[in-house]
Copies of this chain bind each other. A is one copy, B any other.
Amino acid sequence: LESELARLAALYPAVIVNGGLGPTRDDLTAEVFSRLSGVELTENPAALAHLQQWCERRRFELNESNRKQAWLPAGATVLDNPVGSAVGFYLEYQGSLLLATPGVPGELTAMLDGDVAAVMQARFPLAESRFVRRIKLFGVGESTLQQRFDDNQASWPSEVELGFRAGAPLLEVKLEVSQASQLDAQSAAEALLRDWFGDFIVGDDDASLAGVVVQALGEQKKKLALAESCTGGGIAAQVTAISGASAVFECGVVSYANRIKHDLLGVDAALLEKHGAVSEEVALAMARGVLACSAADYAIAVTGIAGPEGGSEDKPVGTVWIAWGSAAHLHAAHFCYASTRKMFQTMVPAIALDLLRRHLAGKDAVPDYYRLRRR
């Protein structure tokens, strides 16, 4: 570890090491940093204060193993960890900046956005400042966008650089210019993007489908109810992950058993018998049922086959019916997404939330969603 770190430090102006800051014997980062830079490990007062606070908030006794986390290389500066017990730290080594952060993903992410970004920005101010605008889309693929740009290169402002980052489920488009004087061109590019794909735009930067839906419901002072089968509470979990959801979210019913579709949601047993649980009729009846048993204004209902079991010739794995809207205006659509259970449970909640997002924005045309839609 020591020689590897020395090698990287000789090559790069900064090295970020993740992990190895925990309370156990196999957590060696502080020791490796101190040996490499030839300084002692000492009990760092800032790290100790953080640990003590962390324990106090949890009414823990600080034990010896935990206390080890406060021993850092002499001269190291602490990087705050807003989530966990282990602080990070950094020090100079032969002209390179060596940073240590915890490896637990939630802690690492919080620190990268916090102290690590601050230290890096102070040390490496961007020679040429860049102006980046990020826009999140759902329901249209990278290749469709690229094709559209290729077909319309003449109208695109050439100083705006276009970038993509495909996530699951959102696609991020970056519009980047290098000077403040090009911000008008950036706005023109954004207008073009909105003109081409406006209905697919979920929002800026940190936008999420659930976030946009919760916000729209809040603005309209309306409430939402959910009836989920194959998505198993995944839509409810996404909605309630949004802080403030309690103002707009009434209830969710996860009706795995047909009996529940009948008993709790009032879906007619004859309907279930005649059309099967995965059908337009049952999706609509589930939505009506959850609207009836709650005080909600809008509902989403989903019934489908996530797989890997449960498919048939007629209704293969991936088949799903989604109903959405208000009691007065209820819609339903049929999709087939044959993939893993995990991908199904990522994509189908996203489609369901997007359909409601569009509905709340007054757009009722149902897109093809990467050609998953069946008619």
Contacts and interface: CB of A to CB of B under 8 A. Distances in A.
Nearest to A261: B251
A243 B26 contact: no
Interface residues of A, number: 83
A184 to B, nearest CB: 23
Interface in A204-260: 223, 226, 228, 231-237, 239-241, 243-246, 249-257, 259-260
A134 to B, nearest CB: 14
A340 B233 contact: no
Given A146-B24, A264-B293, A232 B240 contact: yes
Interface string A283-303: 000000000011100000000
Copies in the complex: 2
Contacts of A346: 106
Given A106-B168, A146-B25, A232 B243 contact: no
Interface stretch (A63-71, A92-100, A326-334): A63-71
7 contacts: A24-B146, A63-B147, A226-B233, A226-B254, A233-B239, A233-B252, A246-B309
Given A250-B256, A251-B257, 18 more contacts: A7-B11, A22-B143, A24-B143, A25-B146, A58-B370, A63-B147, A66-B143, A106-B343, A223-B257, A233-B234, A233-B252, A244-B309, A250-B259, A251-B256, A251-B260, A252-B252, A252-B253, A252-B254
